[in-house]
Structure 1
Amino acid sequence: MDVRYDSGEVVLVCRNRHDDRCLFYRLDPHADDPFIPLHETGGASFDRHWRMARVRGYLLQWGPLGERDGVSGYPYALREFDPSLANPLLGPLVQGGFWEQNKFLGHRTHYGDDPDEGQQLDLVPVGSFVLCLIPTRGRGTFELWNFDPRPDAPGSEDPIPEPYSAQGEFTRGQGAFPLIRKGHTLLPMGDYVLERLPGGRRFRLWSFDPQLDNPLSLPVIREGSWNEIDDGHELTVVGNQLLDWCPGHGRYRLWTLDPDLEELLAGPVREGRLPAAMGPDSELVAFEASPRIDSGKAVIPGTMDFMRSRIRHVVYYMLESRSFDNVCGWLYENGGRDCHFIGRTDPFDGATTEDFNWHGDRKVHVSQFHDGVLSEEWDLDTPGQDPFHHTSDSLQQMFSDISGYWRGEPPDMQGFILNTADDQVMQTLSPEQLPVLNGLARHFAVSDEWFSSIPGGTDVNRAFSLTGSAFNRLGTWEGGNAYQYWPCYPRRQSIWKLLWSHGITDWKIYNAVLWQDAVFTRQLFLRGQVPSLDAEPSRYLADIEQFKTDARRGELPAFSYLEPAWIAPSGSTSYHPGSDLVPAERTLNEIYEALRDGPAWENTLLVITFDKNGGTYDHVSPPYARKPWPNDGVDGFRYDLMGPRVPAIMVSPWIRERSVIRSGGTVPFDSTSFGATLLQWFGVPRCSWCLGDRMVHAPSFESVLQADEPRQDGPSFTPPYDQSNPRSPHR
């Protein structure tokens, strides 16, 4: 990992509108004087006619309209921003070149009656995209461009190579905002864009959604007027806060954006006098730096700095369609009295035969499949049929009266058999039957408070873990034309696009089988998002056997994402209902042993989760949750309720044996917790994630790493057997 800057550092660039002078300040809201001059930089200069903006991990700079070889256009440079340099604005050049004017104008010569239209290009970075504006008095023309910095090929590559819109080649993706016009100012703040109207008092707050043809679409999230802010106040976004500064009076206030408040701004959290240099001729631009590991916190187990200093490789293996009760419910039958609890010390919340659902007038209690023992007389394959698990089915399973959801009632978990008409959804598997999964949970860590992100199927829950939402969809789109053409349409960014936009390229997707001639995860969550990766996808793809080889050789990337075999001639390895579980246990054991026996074991964290419960019973009522995108909602479902619990197992020599981890807060873990933990570990500032409200508020699980020293034991496990997979090949 490339970790370059101090933790929480926000650098303010103070430019003079009338000359090329620049001053630099570090903004620390906790300091006596929050504006701390970067004395080592002194004064610096930068062409005042050039504009600049932070686009994820880079500084994008562009000049006014000019000519090159007789062609009108705009010079540009993409640089690394390094506040340790004498002039941070002239950091290492990543890409440089010249945009022709018609790249942004399309087939038109003008959009309004302003003779200076096009002299200066209006670019607004939002998420891992760049919004180009050509606002006039009567039309808010826009075009959303895909940001691709090409960190693997510095030189003269265009960092905004193509539009992201799906509106077609003729219109070149150019649309019009219904309300945003000339004189309006757009201030991106995470997943939102704050629009300031002429006069300075009125505002609108928009949800930024890159999968829509209009990424700032109605309905507006909030609109109103400020009582204490007018056109004498300048507004500058600094991280997740808003700096309100009045150069005429030399005063400032620092606010926190809260979309739930009528006036949007909470606080002020700080206020005071501006530095003398910030006067009426000043312009402020803020840059949040990637945090450096804090050496003091790095020695404290359970902190993110400890995780960042000890862990060099994160491996994520998401399996399929099993509830916590179904496969890990019997891990600690005594309530885990001798466990090491993290976050909350309540007893282990496992399965019990006292829980039941009604099948007509008959109670069906939780039970263990074949009394929890192994045998070569039967297959380890309960339930034999895949239970229903669309969102409508999952809601029916969680509410015996499904209208309870729309009334906001807690789920009673009494509708599983009512929906599936199958007693097998109440069956569970014992640690003897699943010795690898349960063995890893017992010898390392498990969470009994990890929920699927929504009631529903595979694609929507996997999407939450990788993008922070379900794309405002329900069900699955993993077959036919819907699957084949899915990458052709814009959608919300994945964690891989975000990492790439920060210059982080040390990752790989390892797949077990092709799904309809494509790598499933790439097809749904990466293809079509990064143009340069689409041109050369094999660099970041490999099969699961290569993963085992890379692990044994110590050649894994920083982040490895593993796919199971969903359906294959030799058997599924995903733990999915309707298939034999022995191949899944064997494969999981091989993955673990490849990591344990490799030279990087001491610096590795393996995270094993399941995407959803898949219709199998769990007794814990899932909580209501924060919506991922404020305007999301389909068929009466508001994306505001988590689905049933699923297993989450963490494996590392830095984890104490028999650990049971909970979030310790009011919000429990769900699959967005993985993304939130990974991004913090990589040092990506939270305010630049743009992966939805659920992800940005998700609890992370670095507290699982509680060992003072890496454990030297490496437990071994013996996979199970059954009729189709006997202990010895005597049949």
Structure 2
Amino acid sequence: MSQSSPEKRSCDFLICRHQKEDTYALYRVDPEAEELLTSVSLSAGVSFDCHWRMAQIGGYLLQWSPLCKPHGIEGYQFNLVAFDPDSSNPLQGPAIESGFWEKTKFWGKYRSTYSSNLDEGQYLDLTPMTSFVLSMIPAKGRGTFELWSFDPQGVLDFKSDPLPASYSPQNGFPLIKSGHTLIPIGNYVLDLLPEPNHYRLWSFDPQLETPLSLPAVQQGRWDKVDKDSELTAIGSHVLEWNAAKGHYRLWGFNPEHADVLTGPVREGKLPSTIGAGSVLTGYQTRVPVQSELATTPGTMDFMRSKIKHVVYYMLESRSFDNVCGWLYEQGDQGCHYLGSQEPFEGASIEDFNYDGDQKVFVSKYKNGQLSAEWNLVALDQDPFHDTTDNLQQMFSEESGYWDRAKPDMGGFILNNANAQVMQTFSPEQLPVLNGLARHFGVSDRWFCSMPGGTDVNRAFSLTGSAFNMLGTWEGGSIYTNWPESSHRQSLWKTLWSHGITDWKIYNSVLWENEVFTYQLYLKGQVPSVDTNPTQFLSSIDQFKQDARHGNLPAFSYLEPAWIAPKGATSYHPGGDLVPGERELNEIYEAIKSGPGWENTLLVITFDKNGGIYDHVVPPYAQKPWPNDLNNGFAYDLMGPRVPTVMVSPWIKQQSVVRAEGEIPFDSTSFAATLLEWFGVPRPMWGLGDRINIAPTFEAVLQADQPREGAPTLTPPYDKSFPPMK
């Protein structure tokens, strides 16, 4: 860090306790500071029962006792604490929840022991897994486990159990047994075997029957780690410490590295308070806003200080070329390029696909004109857009993906047997979407997360992966019963686990009697929400009222009206685009006319290209989960570009934003930006590897002052929808 850079306050901490004493110490951990471990001042004589155990889960500290029998029933007392490192006694912070777990909660009602260890139940073995907790009863031949959903229900002002429901039933690990030490690090678990310096690395996947999923990501033996040292995870690092030698080494963690640990990043002498018998626990707080950067446009701290409401509106099935490709057809003079200075990557009439032996070039639907003589439809039917179809559209050679070839974007007509996929719309035909893009900001380097359809790409945007699924599951019994089985968590569960409850899903219509997004990506994950879902679900009309009256939550997720022959607002192919434009304009006007306009960021995007042509080649990408593979597809390729428009008075007119670095934006970039805006540290997200490296787009907020005079836009018209009066 240069001397001119503002000081960044670390959010990593190390709690030092002792096996036989109730005293404790607290250290701030900063790999960039002169001293790695800086003692935090506490009140004199602070203490905490040395027999109790503790671990961070979500944004809280879970504490639990050894086996006790206070009322004649065996079990464990617990506290869920709001850990505040700035308090004088942080381990005795305010209890969000407190109570008593009966032993049978974890052991079951049908057997009292699982091993030959007579003290088997003396201590409860709990391992935090981002927003879940794994309970273990290790034996020589079998590691009995159960996965619990974490729900800090006290945030809604009623006391209960932070582990209210089993997420996957009791089962047994075949390779994790007694003598193993489990160290969770983000989406992974480092398994230290009884043999000195031997390890395995597991991927934690809550949707699997065995959540530490086989095969192991890595296994081996370290030569560089002292066999007498202990390991403690702190954020995205691993602290190797040797009390006898008074020495530490701080390692980076990289699951793709040859032996997981990289570095060392730092090494040095341990503080004198860390010695024989010490027990170390890492903790990450929410990332604080740096006041020095809060006034610097383009930084996350600036976004966190200026933006109080984020609105996310995901539409359907349009490529960038199809609806925004002609945005700067007349030239990009006056554009503010962010991330790279390359010219705007719009549509071109020189781009083509073959229809048999004939070239079919990109063209404008009805020459880009509006008229009351025709409808704004273009496509007679929905193009094919499942994963196998998208791969054929992106690769002219059938084996292109499996040969790791570069997509040539040459198979759209061949796959669809329809040249209409080469047609596009002009800014005159879609004046609201393009008007917002021109007056505020747009990204021309934003890809859907994978070749494929609605459900998988919306899953990526909200959960960081496609659940290792292909196709769709939005109808029939699989849709109805979907919440009854275990799935990877959504960004809402991540927020909830950190005490962030100021959000709402606004839907336009029910899909098979359910709110689509809630049904597929949230229901079944947070018992408190499922108990009272109406508190977090509302209508799109209510959103407009909330926006006009200044009652928006911090995060609003908007659903359009889905597929319909007439009146759908999702922009879906096969339907008229005028209703979608009008609805988008109403949403914009509601926000613009409300008292929160200056503090609101509206993000408009599309879930996928929907089988419609785009000329920009999508890149290969990070797999979301190490063991994901379905029908030969490894979820390591982005799909074609989709438009993403950003609206805020803090965005300069004609902004064009691209990601810095080699990784472009995809749908996971929204969730990454949202979670960083809320201050949740990346190792605590629990949403997979793709989102962990996803670029964020706070750089689009470049205005020193909020712009005045937001434009008024006029929606389009056509034969079915005459001009509005």
What does the per-residue CA deviation read over 1:383-440, in whole Å, with 9 as the maximum and x for residues that have no partner? 1210000000000000111211111111000000000000100000000000000000
The whole-number CA distance in structure 2 between the counterparts of 1:515 and 1:617 is 28
1:62 alignment partner, one of 61, 64, 67: 64
1:526 alignment partner, one of 522, 529, 537: 522
Alignment of 1:444-523 (within 5 A): 444-523=440-519
What residue in structure 2 maps to residue 145 of structure 1? 148
2:120 alignment partner, one of 117, 120, 132: 117
What does the per-residue CA deviation read over 1:347-404, in whole Å, with 9 as the maximum and x for residues that have no partner? 0000000000000111110000000000011000121210000000000000111211
Q: State the AA in 2 paired with 1:164.
A: Y
| CA-atom RMSD in angstroms | 1.2
1:160 alignment partner, one of 151, 160, 163: 163
Is 1:24 aligned with 2:38? Answer: no
What does the per-residue CA deviation read over 1:250-283, in whole Å, with 9 as the maximum and x for residues that have no partner? 1100001112222111100100100011111111
Give yes or no for contact 1:372–1:432 (8 Å, CA) kept in 2: yes
For the residue of structure 2 that corresponds to 1:442, the secondary structure is helix
What does the per-residue CA deviation read over 1:82-130, in whole Å, with 9 as the maximum and x for residues that have no partner? 1111110011110010000100011211101111011110000002000
* CA deviation after TM superposition for structure 1 residue 138, in Å: 1.1
Give yes or no for contact 2:41–2:88 (8 Å, CA) kept in 1: no
Q: State the AA in 2 paired with 1:193.
A: V
Give yes or no for contact 2:566–2:576 (8 Å, CA) kept in 1: no
Q: State the AA in 2 paired with 1:242.
A: V
Alignment of 1:558-573 (within 5 A): 558-568=554-564, 571-573=567-569
What residue in structure 2 maps to residue 426 of structure 1? 422
For the residue of structure 1 that corresponds to 2:406, the secondary structure is coil
Give yes or no for contact 2:11–2:286 (8 Å, CA) kept in 1: yes
**Which deviates more, 192-201 or 414-423?**
192-201
The whole-number CA distance in structure 1 between the counterparts of 2:47 and 2:71 is 28
The whole-number CA distance in structure 1 between the counterparts of 2:85 and 2:306 is 27
What does the per-residue CA deviation read over 1:645-679, in whole Å, with 9 as the maximum and x for residues that have no partner? 00000000000000000002100000000000000
What residue in structure 2 maps to residue 102 of structure 1? 104
**Which deviates more, 596-605 or 284-293?**
284-293
Alignment of 1:291-302 (within 5 A): 291-302=287-298
What residue in structure 1 maps to residue 202 of structure 2? 206
What residue in structure 1 maps to residue 345 of structure 2? 349
What does the per-residue CA deviation read over 1:486-530, in whole Å, with 9 as the maximum and x for residues that have no partner? 000000000000100000000000000000000000000010000
Q: State the AA in 2 paired with 1:95.
A: E
CA distance change for structure 1 residues 70 and 600 in 2, over 3 Å: closer, same or farther? same
2:634 alignment partner, one of 618, 631, 638: 638
What residue in structure 2 maps to residue 723 of structure 1? 719
What does the per-residue CA deviation read over 1:455-491, in whole Å, with 9 as the maximum and x for residues that have no partner? 0000000000000000000010000001000000000
Q: State, as a whole percentage, how many aligned pairs show the same letter.
A: 61
Corresponding pairs, count: 718
For the residue of structure 2 that corresponds to 1:453, the secondary structure is coil
**TM-score calculated relative to the size of structure 2:** 0.98
Q: State the AA in 2 paired with 1:138.
A: G
Q: State the AA in 1 paired with 2:125.
A: D
What residue in structure 2 maps to residue 170 of structure 1? none
What residue in structure 2 maps to residue 132 of structure 1? 135
2:329 alignment partner, one of 333, 355, 368: 333
Give yes or no for contact 1:23–1:43 (8 Å, CA) kept in 2: no
* CA deviation after TM superposition for structure 1 residue 200, in Å: 3.5
CA distance change for structure 1 residues 155 and 377 in 2, over 3 Å: closer, same or farther? closer
What does the per-residue CA deviation read over 1:565-609, in whole Å, with 9 as the maximum and x for residues that have no partner? 003576100000000000000000000000000000000000000
**Which deviates more, 260-269 or 496-505?**
260-269
What residue in structure 1 maps to residue 79 of structure 2? 77
Q: State the AA in 1 paired with 2:153.
A: R
Give yes or no for contact 1:509–1:542 (8 Å, CA) kept in 2: yes
Is 1:378 aligned with 2:381? Answer: no
Q: State the AA in 2 paired with 1:104.
A: F
**TM-score calculated relative to the size of structure 1:** 0.97
CA distance change for structure 1 residues 662 and 683 in 2, over 3 Å: closer, same or farther? same
The whole-number CA distance in structure 2 between the counterparts of 1:231 and 1:99 is 36
The whole-number CA distance in structure 1 between the counterparts of 2:665 and 2:45 is 47
Give yes or no for contact 1:247–1:279 (8 Å, CA) kept in 2: yes
What does the per-residue CA deviation read over 1:681-712, in whole Å, with 9 as the maximum and x for residues that have no partner? 00101110110110010000000000000001
The whole-number CA distance in structure 1 between the counterparts of 2:342 and 2:597 is 31
Is 1:677 aligned with 2:680? Answer: no
The whole-number CA distance in structure 2 between the counterparts of 1:156 and 1:723 is 58
* CA deviation after TM superposition for structure 1 residue 153, in Å: 3.1
* CA deviation after TM superposition for structure 1 residue 199, in Å: 3.6
* CA deviation after TM superposition for structure 1 residue 713, in Å: 1.2
* CA deviation after TM superposition for structure 1 residue 69, in Å: 2.2
The whole-number CA distance in structure 1 between the counterparts of 2:158 and 2:616 is 55
What residue in structure 2 maps to residue 664 of structure 1? 660
The whole-number CA distance in structure 2 between the counterparts of 1:206 and 1:360 is 49
Give yes or no for contact 1:200–1:229 (8 Å, CA) kept in 2: no
Is 1:598 aligned with 2:594? Answer: yes
The whole-number CA distance in structure 1 between the counterparts of 2:335 and 2:380 is 34
The whole-number CA distance in structure 2 between the counterparts of 1:194 and 1:402 is 39
Give yes or no for contact 1:335–1:350 (8 Å, CA) kept in 2: no
Alignment of 1:436-451 (within 5 A): 436-451=432-447
2:236 alignment partner, one of 229, 236, 240: 240
What residue in structure 2 maps to residue 180 of structure 1? 176
1:34 alignment partner, one of 8, 17, 36: 36
The whole-number CA distance in structure 2 between the counterparts of 1:42 and 1:661 is 52
The whole-number CA distance in structure 1 between the counterparts of 2:660 and 2:365 is 33
CA distance change for structure 1 residues 57 and 712 in 2, over 3 Å: closer, same or farther? same
* CA deviation after TM superposition for structure 1 residue 28, in Å: 1.4
Q: State the AA in 2 paired with 1:253.
A: R
Q: State the AA in 1 paired with 2:38.
A: I
Give yes or no for contact 2:141–2:174 (8 Å, CA) kept in 1: no
**Which deviates more, 29-38 or 323-332?**
29-38
CA distance change for structure 1 residues 323 and 236 in 2, over 3 Å: closer, same or farther? same
Q: State the AA in 2 paired with 1:409.
A: A
**Which deviates more, 437-446 or 281-290?**
281-290
The whole-number CA distance in structure 2 between the counterparts of 1:278 and 1:181 is 29
Q: Gaps (5+ residues) in structure 1?
A: 166-172
The whole-number CA distance in structure 2 between the counterparts of 1:181 and 1:69 is 32
What does the per-residue CA deviation read over 1:160-213, in whole Å, with 9 as the maximum and x for residues that have no partner? 011101xxxxxxx11111100101000000011100011430010000000001
The whole-number CA distance in structure 1 between the counterparts of 2:53 and 2:724 is 71
Give yes or no for contact 2:606–2:644 (8 Å, CA) kept in 1: yes
* CA deviation after TM superposition for structure 1 residue 68, in Å: 3.1
1:266 alignment partner, one of 249, 252, 262: 262
For the residue of structure 2 that corresponds to 1:217, the secondary structure is strand
* CA deviation after TM superposition for structure 1 residue 43, in Å: 4.8
Give yes or no for contact 2:153–2:159 (8 Å, CA) kept in 1: no
What residue in structure 1 maps to residue 14 of structure 2? 12
For the residue of structure 2 that corresponds to 1:66, the secondary structure is coil
Alignment of 1:355-370 (within 5 A): 355-370=351-366
Give yes or no for contact 1:335–1:349 (8 Å, CA) kept in 2: no
Q: State the AA in 2 paired with 1:228.
A: K
**Which deviates more, 224-233 or 441-450?**
224-233
For the residue of structure 2 that corresponds to 1:268, the secondary structure is strand
Q: State the AA in 2 paired with 1:546.
A: Q
Give yes or no for contact 1:326–1:617 (8 Å, CA) kept in 2: yes
Q: Gaps (5+ residues) in structure 2?
A: 1-6
Q: State the AA in 2 paired with 1:65.
A: L
Is 1:194 aligned with 2:190? Answer: yes
The whole-number CA distance in structure 2 between the counterparts of 1:608 and 1:233 is 51
